[in-house]
Structure 1
Amino acid sequence: MNVLNVISTLEKVRQVNPLVHNITNVVVTNFTANGLLALGASPVMAYAKEEVADMAKIAGALVLNIGTLNEMEVEAMLIAGKSANENKVPVIFDPVGAGATLYRTETARKIVKEVNISMIRGNAAEVANVIGENWDIKGVDAGEGNGDVLMLAKKAAQQLGTIVVITGKDDIVTDGQTTYVIHNGHPLLTKVTGTGCLLTSVIGAFAAVESNLLNAAAAALVSYGVAAEIAASKTAHDGPGSFQMAFLNALSNIQKEDISELGRVEQV
């Protein structure tokens, strides 16, 4: 994986305009849709259990996000996930807040048990709690934790049989054997609600056009992080509101020269 792979995958997203089916949370729906549109993907938010199987079948990727979960939505996620599996559509899972409550944790574990997840994206605490490891979580935010995040990512990938993305100061993506660390991004991302959820959907867009899902995730992380750096360079002194708008613009306007100059990915 290098910046040339990142550039080619981003260009493919813009050329293909993949349909990304999101069953996500009420807090982030608008921001997620706008972010995917800015990037060059085509978002759809379909939640009714009567239609999710059909929508998942025609999508380039399915994103499941339990940020504001309820019984009906969980049922829809399972139906959509199984339909995606049957039709070879990649499923990206965001276990928002896993570990914060028993219901949330059990739901996350139920989804990874009943659906063949292509990728899971979360912070260290969320991923740890999905696989039964102890890691403090405050609401939907990871606590400091004392564990080795790199080892946690590899263990989760091996245990779940999927690609794992753990985001934080540095982002990690691994299939349990090959591991990349991405050193892009900006702290202002943590000041805007929904940036992690949008990232999961952006990973879905990249997975829709790149069959090597490990490379797809790494390319998405680099592109997203570089866009954040560009946005922050223009608005950091103004605060998160201005950053949010600039970030959407950066997702739309990011060029191969930006990735060549700013992209920082290494294999470890």
Structure 2
Amino acid sequence: MSLNHIRRHAPLVHCISNIVVANFKANGLLAIGASPVMADAPEEVAQMVAIAGALSINMGTLNSESVKAMLAAGKAANALGTPVVFDPVGAGATEFRRQTVRELMREVKHTVLRCNVGELAAVAEVPWQQKGVDSGDGDLAVVEVAKQVAQRYGVVVAVTGETDIVTDGERVSEISGGSALTPLVTGTGCLLSAVVAAGLVGSDDAYTATVAVLQDYKRVAEIAAAQSTQVGDFQIGFLNALQQVSVGVAA
């Protein structure tokens, strides 16, 4: 199991996180045995990356200083060979976000791009109507566009939704399951990106590691939903299920 792999390696994950989800993301990583560090000052991110096992970049609450931090951390991670997971939250919502995505994709070599379909469209620069930081609406050949992005940037692309799609430009996996309650809890997608980053530590193949994490994450959602009656219960149940799956005690 991928979450058990993370628990055994206990990686330090450097998260440049959006402020909305930082607490949930930190608790989620702790639940699977990883250690989170939330550092986003441009003056220190390179040093923080140097002691981390993986870097998770999330642009949910974007500002000029965080862009500097993302670029500095990403370049430092590349120099060290540290895996980088990029979560381009709300990538197509504004011109500032679109420009930031272009710059980060150009200047930083990402290991995994974890996004929803609307964010994939923004990265690929194809028409799509973004709805804030949510996926939005449009018509997209998701698998083909994901493969094109993977090939163009040399990155594993993980497009999550009702059915997740993972591709390295050649191999493709589709992962079903999960719960309809998952998108009702802010931060489940952002946490997933950080968990993917943790799962890359000690893994030889980013594609298979990402697939394994997404499979476990769907299972976590199913367990949490089975134990929950309302959204608030689901959020707590999700953290509990992360721990249960990671230690191998989940039914």
Q: Distance between the aligned counterparts of 1:244 and 1:209, measured in 2?
A: 29
Contact 1:18 1:205 in 2 (8 A): yes
Q: Distance between the aligned counterparts of 1:49 and 1:144, measured in 2?
A: 35
- Number of positions where the alignment pairs a residue of Structure 1 with one of Structure 2: 250
Q: Distance between the aligned counterparts of 2:57 and 2:151, measured in 1?
A: 21
Q: Distance between the aligned counterparts of 1:222 and 1:209, measured in 2?
A: 18
2:183 aligned residue: 190
Contact 1:165 1:172 in 2 (8 A): yes
> What are the Cα deviations for residues 216-252 of structure 1, in whole angstroms up to 9, with x where unaligned?
11111011110110000110xx211110000000000
1:73 aligned residue: 66
Deviation, 1:165, is 0.5
What SS does structure 1 have at the residue aligned with 2:127? Answer: coil
Q: Distance between the aligned counterparts of 1:100 and 1:133, measured in 2?
A: 13
Aligned counterpart in structure 2 of residue 242 of structure 1, from 226, 233, 239: 233
Aligned counterpart in structure 2 of residue 118 of structure 1, from 97, 111, 124: 111
Deviation, 1:114, is 0.4
Contact 1:128 1:156 in 2 (8 A): no
Contact 1:81 1:116 in 2 (8 A): yes
Q: Distance between the aligned counterparts of 1:50 and 1:239, measured in 2?
A: 42
1:223 maps to 2:216: yes
Deviation, 1:211, is 2.2
1:91 maps to 2:89: no
Contact 2:124 2:145 in 1 (8 A): no
Q: Which amino acid in 2 is paired with 1:157?
A: A
What SS does structure 1 have at the residue aligned with 2:90? Answer: coil
Deviates more, 1:27-36 or 1:183-192: 183-192
Moved over 2 A (4+): 9-12, 255-258
> What are the Cα deviations for residues 162-184 of structure 1, in whole angstroms up to 9, with x where unaligned?
11010011001100000111113
1:178 aligned residue: 171
Identity across aligned pairs (percent)? 49
Q: Distance between the aligned counterparts of 2:214 and 2:196, measured in 1?
A: 7
Aligned runs of 1:1-268 on 2, under 5 Å?
A: 7=1, 9-235=2-228, 238-254=229-245, 256=248
Q: Distance between the aligned counterparts of 1:177 and 1:256, measured in 2?
A: 32
Deviation, 1:144, is 3.3
Q: Distance between the aligned counterparts of 2:154 and 2:168, measured in 1?
A: 8
> What are the Cα deviations for residues 26-59 of structure 1, in whole angstroms up to 9, with x where unaligned?
0000000000000111100011111100111121
Deviation, 1:257, is 7.3
Contact 1:66 1:95 in 2 (8 A): yes
User: What do you get for the CA RMSD once the two structures are aligned?
Assistant: 1.3
1:266 aligned residue: none
Relative to the length of structure 2, the TM-score reads: 0.96
Q: Which amino acid in 2 is paired with 1:99?
A: G
What SS does structure 2 have at the residue aligned with 1:209? Answer: coil
Unaligned runs of 5+ residues in structure 2 are none
Q: Which amino acid in 2 is paired with 1:128?
A: A
What SS does structure 2 have at the residue aligned with 1:127? Answer: helix
Deviation, 1:10, is 2.8
Deviation, 1:11, is 2.3
Q: Distance between the aligned counterparts of 1:51 and 1:143, measured in 2?
A: 35
What SS does structure 1 have at the residue aligned with 2:57? Answer: strand
